[in-house]
């Protein structure tokens, strides 16, 4: 009986222990055992006691150091964009250094780029009149009349470029020839410097006492106009010969029969028309907005056109030369 009583007490104690174990909250403890260490890590489980599960991403860094590369890229892009805009406007662009190897005088010196901050001559010292019009508008004929009656020195940008392309030893001869044949515009630095050199020679020779210049076929673009007036001399006004493409084409094809010029052909003429409208007309429009354009209808006969030119020059205060002949008594 005593043994039965003992067994009953043991079972009673075991039942009490089971009931107590079920009523107490269980706490999970992590222990490192050899068996658990050898078990493969399940996805999402930490690899160590101080590392969070892999499915929980770390918060982004708030360090300011990563912002600087973005700010640097933004600042660089802003600077380059402004530089491109200024260059297209013809503002803030100052060519630096010479054009290597270019020597329009043939003496071997380099051709400097027009990088002055102020004009070489003022408009009070030198009179410059730009002469513009489409190819075949009659600019050359009218300029010859003005030279004879007003004492101007006629400078043709196209003639100066053709002379340079044919000058022996010119490194830019082939380049100029290609531009002219294609009806496109020669780089600004070359044309501006050739004109400046020609003006200087004319004044130094003593043959241009009035220092008056007709610059024919220039400026072809706004950046040329800005560069010339900024570095060489401001113009008085622009003489613009207005003529339709059909009339100009007829004149050019007729001239091409005897001129021998490479650009007096139908294909080059069309390219020249297109270039003039797209690049030179903005020059006329800008100067016209400043009241610096004298517009003449160039579809009439040369004499009729010239009469109109003289009247409009008089309105602008430009008078022809009055020659006085003094009779001397023969000894």
130 has binding-site annotation: no
324 has binding-site annotation: no
Q: Which of 222, 228, 102 is nearest to 155 (CA)?
A: 228
255 has binding-site annotation: yes
72 has binding-site annotation: no
Q: Dmax of the chain from CA atoms?
A: 185
76 has binding-site annotation: no
Residues in the chain: 331
41 has binding-site annotation: no
48 has binding-site annotation: no
23 has binding-site annotation: no
300 has binding-site annotation: yes
158 has binding-site annotation: no
139 has binding-site annotation: yes
3-state secondary structure 268-328: HHHHHHHHHHHHHHHHHHHHHHCCCEEEEECCCCHHHHHHHHHHHHHHCCCCCCCCCCCCC
Distance CA 304, CA 102 (A): 42
219 has binding-site annotation: yes
87 has binding-site annotation: no
Helices (H), the chain: 2-23, 34-38, 68-89, 139-150, 157-166, 173-182, 188-204, 222-231, 245-259, 266-275, 281-289, 302-315
Q: Which of 207, 202, 195 is nearest to 232 (CA)?
A: 195
272 has binding-site annotation: yes
140 has binding-site annotation: yes
141 has binding-site annotation: yes
CB 257 within 8 A of CB 266: no
CB 221 within 8 A of CB 310: no
157 has binding-site annotation: no
Residue list, annotated binding site for ATP: 136-141, 255, 300
Task: Provide the annotated binding site for a ribonucleoside 5'-phosphate.
Answer: 162, 184-186, 217-220, 224, 261, 272
Show binding-site residues. 136-141, 162, 184-186, 217-220, 224, 255, 261, 272, 300
């Amino acid at each position: 009986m005593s043994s039965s009583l003992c067994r009953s007490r043991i079972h009673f104690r075991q039942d009490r222990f089971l009931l107590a174990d079920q009523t107490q909250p269980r706490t999970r403890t992590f222990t490192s055992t050899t068996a658990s260490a050898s078990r493969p890590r399940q996805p999402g489980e930490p690899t160590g006691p101080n590392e969070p599960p892999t499915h929980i991403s770390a918060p982004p860094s708030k360090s300011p150091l990563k912002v600087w590369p973005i700010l640097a890229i933004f600042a660089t892009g802003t600077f380059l964009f402004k530089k491109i805009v200024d260059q297209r406007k013809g503002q803030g662009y100052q060519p630096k250094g010479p054009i290597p190897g270019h020597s329009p005088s043939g003496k071997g010196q380099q051709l400097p780029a027009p990088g002055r901050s102020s004009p070489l001559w003022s408009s009070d010292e030198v009179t410059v009149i730009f002469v513009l019009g489409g190819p075949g508008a009659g600019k050359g004929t009218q300029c010859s009349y003005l030279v004879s009656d007003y004492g101007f020195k006629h400078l043709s940008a196209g003639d100066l470029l053709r002379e340079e392309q044919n000058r022996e030893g010119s490194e830019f001869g082939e380049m100029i020839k290609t531009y002219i044949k294609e009806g496109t515009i020669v780089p600004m630095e070359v044309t501006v410097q050739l004109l400046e050199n020609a003006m200087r020679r004319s004044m130094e020779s003593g043959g241009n006492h009035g220092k008056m210049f007709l610059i024919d076929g220039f400026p072809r673009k706004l950046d040329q106009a800005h560069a010339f007036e900024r570095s060489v001399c401001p113009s008085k006004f622009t003489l613009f010969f207005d003529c339709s493409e059909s009339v100009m084409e007829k004149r050019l094809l007729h001239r091409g029969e005897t001129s021998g010029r490479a650009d007096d052909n139908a294909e080059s003429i069309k390219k020249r028309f297109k270039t003039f409208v797209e690049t030179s007309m903005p020059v006329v429009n800008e100067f016209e907005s400043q009241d610096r354009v004298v517009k003449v209808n160039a579809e009439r006969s040369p004499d009729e056109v010239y009469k109109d030119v003289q009247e409009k020059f008089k309105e602008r205060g430009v008078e022809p030369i009055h020659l006085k002949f003094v009779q001397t008594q023969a000894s």
